[in-house]
């Protein structure tokens, strides 16, 4: 499995608006991508400038699928400009080397 981790700063809107739009607009889209395993949004709190951070984690079966999710996320974030704006701070992706789940 592979994951893509994207880090953003929320420069317009609120984390609640992002969550609502993820639930109702983005999740239905990303779930249709081949190899989809999971998607998470983490609100990291306020940065030094007082703006909330947002981290997303997309998990897919292979690297190409994880990369495709990044394009989908970028297109969707631009589409949501009337509701919120994210400044992308970075992205990491790679093979998941170790994973555990609750029994």
Tens of pLDDT, residues 11-54: 999 889 999 999 999 999 999 999 999 999 998 876 656 678 89
Quickly state the pLDDT bin for 96 (edges 50, 70, 90): very high
pLDDT at 46 (0 to 100):
67
How many angstroms separate the Cα of 58 from the Cα of each of 3, 31, 32, 65?
A: 5, 10, 13, 10
pLDDT at 8 (0 to 100):
92
Q: How many CB atoms lie within 10 A of CB 32?
A: 9
> Distance (Å, rounded) from C-alpha 44 to C-alpha 39?
16
> Distance (Å, rounded) from C-alpha 96 to C-alpha 2?
5
Global pTM value? 0.86
pLDDT at 68 (0 to 100):
87
> Distance (Å, rounded) from C-alpha 28 to C-alpha 9?
23
pLDDT at 5 (0 to 100):
94
Using an 8 Å Cβ cutoff, are 52 and 88 in contact? Answer: no
Phi/psi at 98 (5° precision): -150, 135
Q: At the top level of CATH, which class does the domain 2-95 belong to?
A: alpha beta
């Amino acid at each position: 499995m592979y994951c893509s981790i994207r880090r953003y700063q929320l420069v317009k809107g609120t984390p609640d608006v992002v969550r609502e739009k993820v639930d109702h607009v983005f999740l239905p889209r990303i779930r249709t991508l081949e190899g989809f395993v999971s998607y998470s949004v983490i609100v990291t709190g306020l940065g030094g400038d007082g703006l909330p951070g947002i981290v997303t984690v997309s998990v897919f079966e292979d690297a190409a699928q994880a990369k495709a999710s990044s394009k989908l996320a970028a297109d969707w974030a631009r589409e949501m400009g009337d509701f919120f704006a994210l400044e992308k701070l970075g992205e990491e992706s790679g093979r998941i080397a170790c994973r555990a789940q609750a029994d």
